[in-house]
Amino acid sequence: MIYVILGVAIVLGAVGYGVSLLRGRGRTLERQAPPARPGLPAEDLDRRPPTAGTDTVEAPEAPGAPGAPAEVEQPTAPTAPEPTLERPESARGRLQRLRARLARSNSSIGQGLLALLSRGKLDEQAWEEVEDTLISSDLGVEATMELVDSLRTRVKVDGTTDEATVRAWLREDLLALVQPDMDRRIASSRVGDRPAVILVVGVNGTGKTTTVGKLARVLVAEDREVLLGAADTFRAAAADQLETWGARVGVATVRSDKDNADPAAVAFDAVKAGIDEEVDVVIIDTAGRLHNKVGLMDELGKVKRVIEKQSEIDEVLLVLDATTGQNGLQQAKVFSEAVDVTGIVLTKLDGTAKGGIVVAVQRQLGVPVKLVGLGEGPDDLAPFDPEAFVDAIVM
- Rounded CA separation 183/114 (Å): 30
Residue 42 gets which letter from DSSP? G
- Rounded CA separation 245/228 (Å): 10
205 is in an annotated binding site: yes
286 is in an annotated binding site: yes
Do 314 and 198 touch, CB atoms closer than 8 A? yes
Q: Which of 322, 334, 330 is nearest to 373 (CA)?
A: 322
353 is in an annotated binding site: no
349 is in an annotated binding site: yes
233 is in an annotated binding site: no
292 is in an annotated binding site: no
What is the helix, strand, coil percentage profile of the chain, to 5? 50, 10, 40
259-to-187, 205, 266, 292 alpha-carbon distances in Å: 31, 21, 12, 25
Residue 84 gets which letter from DSSP? P
287 is in an annotated binding site: yes
285 is in an annotated binding site: yes
202 is in an annotated binding site: yes
106 is in an annotated binding site: no
Do 374 and 352 touch, CB atoms closer than 8 A? no
62 is in an annotated binding site: no
- Rounded CA separation 212/246 (Å): 9
204 is in an annotated binding site: yes
206 is in an annotated binding site: yes
Pick out the residues of the known binding site for GTP. 202-209, 285-289, 347-350
Residues of the binding site: 202-209, 285-289, 347-350
